[in-house]
A and B are shown apart, each in its own frame.
Chain A
Amino acid sequence: MPCTVSMTVNGKAVSREVEERTLLVTFLRDQLGLTGTHVGCDTSQCGACVVHIDGRSVKSCTMLAAQADGAAVTTIEGLAAADGTLHPMQAAFREHHGLQCGFCTPGMVMSAVDLVTANPSPSEHDVREGLEGNICRCTGYHNIVKAVMAGAEAMQGGTMKAAAE
């Protein structure tokens, strides 16, 4: 049975008719062509599909598109500034070589941004615990942790700057 879902994705209002069973991740990838959000497992373990729903990180394979009706969704494609300037967390991942094959990266970055939003100055331990729901097979996490700590610092700088303005 098809149903209509409407939401804001990366700042743009979208509305589509979908099968009721359509997962949010399928909606983003297949209906909207936002293929930056990846599917790495079928048990909500790997975190490759993490997006932000109303500012909080969610594994987009764990919810139906219909459950996101009316929500504001941000995917990895919507994280950088409109002029293409990378979000401080994206920039930190590049600077610290926090990615290799790139497949877990979108989910990892989205989780990291949420982690730092909730805890602006995380310790290494906080970062490791906070990313427990995102599996990376390439990096051994070492450089991801470094990147997230650096990204956190940069985000704080950005926040302070924004607050001062």
Chain B
Amino acid sequence: MANPTGIGASVRRREDARFLTGRGTYTDDINRPGQTHAVFVRSPYAHARITGIDAAEAMRAPGVIAVLTGADMETDKVGSLPCGWLIHSKDGSPMKEPPHFPIARDRARYVGDAVAVVIAETREQAKDAAELVMVDYEELPAAVTSLKALEGGAPLVHDDVGGNLCFDWHLGDAAAVDAAFAQAAHVAKLDLVNQRLVPNAMEPRAALGEYDRATGEHTLTTTSQNPHVIRLLMGAFVLGIPEHKLRVVAPDVGGGFGSKIFHYGEEAVVTWAAKKVGRPVKWTAERSESFLTDAHGRDHVSHAELAMDKDGNFLALRVATIANMGAYLSTFAPSIPTYLYATLLAGQYKTPAIYAEVKAVFTNTVPVDAYRGAGRPEACYLIERLVEVAAAETGIDKAELRRRNFVPASAMPYQTPVALQYDTGDFAKNLDIALPLVDYDGFAARKAESARRGKLRGIGFATYIEACGIAPSNVAGALGARAGLYESAEVRFHPTGSVTVFTGSHSHGQGHETTFAQLVSERFGVPIENVEIVHGDTSKIPFGMGTYGSRSLAVGGSAIVKAMDKVERKAKKIAAHMLEAAEADIEVKDGRFVVAGTDKALTIGDIALQAYVPHNFPLDELEPGLDEQAFYDPKNFTYPNGCHVCEVEIDPDTGVVQVVSFAAVDDFGRVINPLIVEGQVHGGLVQGIGQALYENCVYDEESGQLITGSYMDYCMPRADDVPSFTVRYHEDQPCTHNPLGVKGCGEAGTIGASAAVMNAVVHALSEYGVTHLDMPATPERVWQAIRRHTPAQAAE
């Protein structure tokens, strides 16, 4: 065995020791001397004019220090929360981008929109006083669902956004698609809803603002996946604080799943208020508040059509999607149903022509933005459901139909008709591994056995591909990104040979402190316990873009490799000097710097000591020190892909769906820590299964009240709802354009699982003639579907 803490080893996580003993430090665990507590007054109406705020009684309540409103922020020239991605409509016009103030000024636009903030000595006092703030509302009719918001005469969420239409965008070649459809032997059609979800990281959002009068420095500690992004957006656009006077810290963060990427108003409010009241201000969301105010995910309504020839070869795909943006544009919202969705509509198939239209709509609901997978699960679900419908209608076996249409491995790199170029992937291989894992051929026997017990059984596939590590910056910029999409790293060797790595990536469960340290251990032969990974503090790390889109290892890890390349180059020079050899003769073997063909060698520790104690050092050629920084901007997206197969059993009397087996075969490129990768897959699968069977965010369509506002109404998957999984991966299709060959694994499970489960559910129900069911396949929906399709005499 090579290095036991190097690449490919299932190193047990180093962060676990603190988490298992209650010594993690999450934002709400931090308390500062003199700290005050903020509680927000939130709109109980989905849409209302704010005609007056009377805080007099609240101000008299015990412990109250201040009650601040949107008007106070306006006086202080606090700006609007910026949107990080600009989309242009078909006609070339820019998307509508109405202002989004941290505290609403004249109108509240969703239930939970902040209207005022109470700051008091204790959380309880702030909460009590918030009840006493008298807000005069003039309730307005609300546009709640995306479809109704688009109807003529719908209430306008923003007066100057006609028809509530944020943008009307398209991608692909409409004429080529029309021509292909005209020739089709068969067209499969499907209307489907990708329902709205609440991300539900287990740690509720929290923010702690501090201001140091002596230095003029602001510090925001926040539950963020990307502290530098927050510093940039909040400092430059909202509060006007220059970066050298603003520190943003994201300490231990209890899950993100996308929902902690965005810059939220509460962060700006506590930072601003801390200076105003002259004391630290902390806000921690209660779960009910998280339901109301965390950016939600998904919420697409789509129509899709697939044209095929007589042999089932895909000729063209046509998709029209309506995407709900909520009341305001969250940080990356416009990119999700466009460049992270429509560009993935080729899936694993060589469909030659694709055309997608996407209308983004404002509604009186909380903003919608990235949630684990972000656009790609929506694309996968649409394609894979449609392919399953096509298989059922043509009578071609669903595995065979997929195989027939896969982009072959020999065609890589493959240019899709929707902008992306896949670098590697062997989709048939994924399927070949998966079929025996699930005993595909034995399904009929298992179905018969289920039938003897009065149960229905179905098997469903999802063959997915996704695009991770959004990049390169110049391409993203051309598509509307208002930020770069590189990552940073600094690798600092200390004089005695231990190492600190500063990364712009952020870990909120992914295990960077272990995986990233493995990269250093592998490269330099340093024991892993001598490597420290530092992340999440803008005062320590170089400017970094953070963690989302499964980018940490592919982009952040590559930045570390680039910094290590620089360290190695310098270390070689130092070694050459120390060993009195030519630099060209220095080889690095198992972390040792060796003079080729000799037994003369140095460890990196020897070299580091020399670098910092330069008594015998070529100072005229080399600076002292061994500390290098790098920024890595990827050349392309990475393309994780795989084949997920789900088998379900359904009780027709109750409609209860049970996932009886689930196998995931994935190609993540090279795997650094198999234990962590498998854990990412497990978690992703359950989020996908959660969407398929349990989770559904429901607003009342008239009043705009959030119906599913707690764990009593919003069904989170629990331990007894899901099975154990069969997870396999192969590494023979490494990414070709990053130095690690890695593709990313964080979202894959979620992307494949929903489609696989729903395909299995519909397959099980097919004997009743059910051809589609929208998620979630709750017992009630399944039961209704069975009843709807059961002939009256059969039911009797």
Smallest Cβ-Cβ distance to B673: which chain A residue: A97
Smallest Cβ-Cβ distance to B200: which chain A residue: A137
A103 touches B287 (CB 8 A): no
B255 touches A42 (CB 8 A): no
A95 touches B12 (CB 8 A): yes
B20 touches A97 (CB 8 A): no
Instruction: State which of A29, A42, A139 has its C-beta within 8 Å of the C-beta of B288.
Output: A42
Given contacts A36-B24, A97-B675, A103-B203, contact A43 B19 (CB under 8 A): no
Looking at chain B's contact residues, is the secondary structure mostly helix, strand, loop, or mixed?
loop
Given contacts A97-B675, A132-B720, contact A102 B19 (CB under 8 A): yes
Smallest Cβ-Cβ distance to B286: which chain A residue: A42
Given contacts A104-B202, A140-B682, contact A45 B15 (CB under 8 A): no
Q: Which residues of A are found within 8 Å of B257, using beta-carbon distances?
A: 137
A142 touches B724 (CB 8 A): yes
CB distance from A78 to the nearest CB of B (A): 9
Q: Within 8 Å of chain A (Cβ to Cβ): is B683?
A: yes
Q: Within 8 Å of chain A (Cβ to Cβ): is B253?
A: yes
Q: Within 8 Å of chain B (Cβ to Cβ): is A155?
A: no
Looking at chain A's contact residues, is the secondary structure mostly helix, strand, loop, or mixed?
loop
Q: Which residues of A are found within 8 Å of B13, using beta-carbon distances?
A: 94, 97, 99
CB distance from B672 to the nearest CB of A (A): 14
Q: Which residues of A are found within 8 Å of B202, using beta-carbon distances?
A: 38, 40, 46, 48, 101, 103-104, 135-138
Given contacts A94-B12, A103-B255, A104-B202, contact A41 B720 (CB under 8 A): no
Q: Which residues of A are found within 8 Å of B255, using beta-carbon distances?
A: 100-101, 103, 137-138
Q: Which residues of A are found within 8 Å of B720, using beta-carbon distances?
A: 125, 128-129, 131-132
CB distance from A121 to the nearest CB of B (A): 18
A152 CA to B113 CA, complexed, in Å: 47
Q: Which residues of A are found within 8 Å of B200, using beta-carbon distances?
A: 137
Instruction: State which of A29, A103, A141 has its C-beta within 8 Å of the C-beta of B254.
Output: A103
Q: Within 8 Å of chain A (Cβ to Cβ): is B710?
A: yes
Q: Within 8 Å of chain A (Cβ to Cβ): is B218?
A: no
Within B180-237, which residues are at the interface with A (CB < 8 Å)?
A: 200-204
CB distance from A48 to the nearest CB of B (A): 6
A76 CA to B18 CA, complexed, in Å: 11
Q: Within 8 Å of chain B (Cβ to Cβ): is A16?
A: no
Q: Which of B46-54, B389-397, B711-719 contacts A (4 or more CB under 8 A)?
A: B711-719
Smallest Cβ-Cβ distance to A84: which chain B residue: B21
A143 CA to B674 CA, complexed, in Å: 13
CB distance from A142 to the nearest CB of B (A): 4
Given contacts A103-B254, A135-B202, contact A90 B21 (CB under 8 A): yes
A89 CA to B254 CA, complexed, in Å: 21
A45 CA to B263 CA, complexed, in Å: 28
Q: Within 8 Å of chain B (Cβ to Cβ): is A17?
A: no
Instruction: State which of B17, B21, B31, B509 has its C-beta within 8 Å of the C-beta of A138.
Output: B509
A101 touches B253 (CB 8 A): yes
CB distance from A154 to the nearest CB of B (A): 14
A37 touches B683 (CB 8 A): no
Smallest Cβ-Cβ distance to B252: which chain A residue: A102
CB distance from A90 to the nearest CB of B (A): 4
Q: Which residues of B are found within 8 Å of A137, using beta-carbon distances?
A: 200-202, 255, 257, 683, 687, 716
Q: Which residues of A are found within 8 Å of B15, using beta-carbon distances?
A: 102
Q: Which residues of A are found within 8 Å of B710, using beta-carbon distances?
A: 41-43, 45
Q: Within 8 Å of chain A (Cβ to Cβ): is B23?
A: yes
Q: Within 8 Å of chain B (Cβ to Cβ): is A86?
A: yes
Smallest Cβ-Cβ distance to A76: which chain B residue: B22
Q: Within 8 Å of chain A (Cβ to Cβ): is B679?
A: yes
Within B267-293, which residues are at the interface with A (CB < 8 Å)?
A: 286-288
Instruction: State which of B201, B676, B681 has its C-beta within 8 Å of the C-beta of A101.
Output: B201
Q: Within 8 Å of chain A (Cβ to Cβ): is B544?
A: no
A132 CA to B715 CA, complexed, in Å: 12
CB distance from B292 to the nearest CB of A (A): 12
Given contacts A97-B675, A141-B719, contact A43 B287 (CB under 8 A): yes
Instruction: State which of B22, B288, B724 has its C-beta within 8 Å of the C-beta of A77.
Output: B22
Tally of contact residues, B, Cβ under 8 A: 57
Q: Within 8 Å of chain B (Cβ to Cβ): is A9?
A: no
Q: Per-residue CB proximity of A76-115 to B under 8 Å, as 1/0?
A: 1101100000100010011101011111111001000000
Q: Within 8 Å of chain B (Cβ to Cβ): is A73?
A: no
Within B1-24, which residues are at the interface with A (CB < 8 Å)?
A: 12-13, 15-24
Q: Within 8 Å of chain B (Cβ to Cβ): is A54?
A: no
CB distance from B586 to the nearest CB of A (A): 39
Q: Within 8 Å of chain A (Cβ to Cβ): is B66?
A: no
Q: Within 8 Å of chain A (Cβ to Cβ): is B749?
A: yes
Instruction: State which of A109, A136, A144 has its C-beta within 8 Å of the C-beta of B20.
Output: A109
B201 touches A94 (CB 8 A): no
A94 CA to B678 CA, complexed, in Å: 15
A135 touches B20 (CB 8 A): no
Q: Within 8 Å of chain B (Cβ to Cβ): is A145?
A: yes
Q: Within 8 Å of chain A (Cβ to Cβ): is B508?
A: yes
Q: Within 8 Å of chain A (Cβ to Cβ): is B684?
A: yes
B20 touches A42 (CB 8 A): no
Q: Which residues of B are found within 8 Å of A109, using beta-carbon distances?
A: 20
Q: Which residues of B are found within 8 Å of A90, using beta-carbon distances?
A: 20-21
Given contacts A45-B711, A76-B22, contact A134 B719 (CB under 8 A): yes
Instruction: State which of A40, A41, A86, A146 has its C-beta within 8 Å of the C-beta of B21.
Output: A86
B686 touches A77 (CB 8 A): no
Q: Within 8 Å of chain A (Cβ to Cβ): is B612?
A: no
Q: Which residues of B are found within 8 Å of A102, using beta-carbon distances?
A: 15-16, 18-20, 24, 252, 254, 509
Within B634-686, which residues are at the interface with A (CB < 8 Å)?
A: 675-676, 678-679, 681-686
A109 CA to B24 CA, complexed, in Å: 15
Measured CB to CB, the residues of A under 8 A from B are 19, 21, 29-30, 34-43, 45-46, 48, 75-77, 79-80, 86, 90, 93-95, 97, 99-106, 109, 124-125, 127-129, 131-132, 134-146
A–B Cβ pairs within 8 angstroms, 21 of them: A30-B31, A40-B204, A40-B287, A43-B710, A43-B711, A48-B202, A75-B22, A94-B12, A100-B511, A102-B16, A103-B255, A105-B19, A109-B20, A127-B719, A128-B719, A131-B718, A134-B718, A137-B257, A137-B683, A140-B683, A140-B722
3 tightest A-B CB contacts, nearest first: A36-B22, A103-B254, A102-B19
Known pairs A39-B204, A137-B255 / 13 extra A-B pairs, C-beta < 8 Å = A36-B24, A97-B12, A101-B203, A101-B253, A101-B509, A102-B24, A102-B509, A103-B201, A104-B202, A105-B20, A106-B22, A129-B719, A146-B724
